[in-house]
Amino acid sequence: MRVNSTASKLDSFLQRLSQPDQFTLGVVGLGYVGLPLILRAAEAGLRTLGLDIDPAKVDDLQAGRSYIKHIGDARVQTALGQGLQATTDFARAGEADALLICVPTPLTRSREPDLSFVISTLESLLPALRPGQLVALESTTYPGTTEEELRPRIEAQGLRVGEDVFLVYSPEREDPGNPQFNTRTIPKIVGGSSAACLSAGEALYRHLVDEVVSVSSTRAAEMTKLMENIHRAVNIGLVNEMKIAADRMGLDIHEIISAAATKPFGFVAYRPGPGLGGHCIPIDPFYLTWKAREYGVHTRFIELAGEINSAMPAWVMHKISAALNDQGKPVRGSRVLVLGLAYKKNIDDLRHSPSVEILELLREQGADFAYSDPYVPVFPRLREHRFDLRHVEPTAQELARADAVVIATDHDDFDYAAIRTHARLIIDTRGRYSEPAAHIIAA
């Protein structure tokens, strides 16, 4: 009887999905992951409902405005014309045939997984859940989250996962500001809580992306996401450590990487920087190390890479201090202009940005500091950082006024020739200047 019931609900779900204009996709959390996802769903012809606790985001979307720099207003306005609705009313979740949860998964102060956003979001949705819906978690997390945290809460409502509702895990793979890839062209990993769940998830995501990659379980999908980002974190940790060694030896790490990259096999070029930023790469290793301890595994290699990457802003601060000292100036009272606040170039995302850590260190040491970032006109309110600062235009006068100019994020908008000409001292953390000069210090 249950098999027939399951087949009936799956068939009904697939039938609704076969008529996209009759299928409503709800996206919960309209940030750097959720917004491009819901816009892609609107482009694919699905009815779309965005839910977020932030009324400012909802108001912007309803007015046709994008609050993410690399996503233009035109895309939002087109989606509105295709029927996009945004709301803070989670009771409307029952209108959706599928709900995709795209909320933050940060760390606690003790660097343990913080699932409070995921759990509180799900609990806000539970009263509206109904038979026949699909629920997908896209937030990065440790293996077991979907089965251990989401499934019991859903089934406590009397809804049987795999029979009444379909539960899947499909990790986000957004790369903000990367023009080579977008939501549609990046392959999507999907793992289901059952065969029926997987079938429903595969069918849904095939409407949104060009390629769906199915795995055996939600836990396998969760681990896949961690593998991807830990791979990057470890390799960036390696190249950051190599940078420090090369610097002590008087060698240019960027020249060395470029030369090594000419090998046509067995080498992938990773570039060093002032540290790791963004929501995933600085966070994900700690999600795995925390869960691995439950199985008696000490992930020493991964933790070492995390320690190296976390120490990079302090290393940059050391280079700033040493460079100023060579000119007979202490950090205290010196004017330092930091170019770029976002964690990578050409976006406005400050999450875990090493540039912000550098600002904190400059404040601690008493510098007179300012920042220039065309993507961040006013320093926003962040949970752990408070600065009363605004973007300073990097004019010839501002550059010449600074005792040191730090290239922390190498936005394409900056005029690097002008910076080289007018700045008295440059601390280059991104390798923008390949030709040596007395006033340019690699960091």
Catalytic residues: 280
Of 197, 210, 177, the closest CA to residue 413 belongs to: 177
CB 135 within 8 A of CB 166: yes
Per-residue tokens: 96: 């959706």
**Residue 380 DSSP label:** P
Cα–Cα distance, 329 to 2 (Å, whole number): 77
Per-residue tokens: 72: 């233009």
Cα–Cα distance, 199 to 214 (Å, whole number): 9
Cα–Cα distance, 323 to 312 (Å, whole number): 17
Q: How many CB atoms lie within 10 A of CB 251?
A: 14
Per-residue tokens: 213: 């990659």
CA dihedral defined by 307, 312, 315, 316, rounded to 10 degrees? -170
Helix (H) or strand (E) holding 306: helix 300-310
Residues with Cβ < 8 Å from 235, sequence gap 6 or more? 268, 270
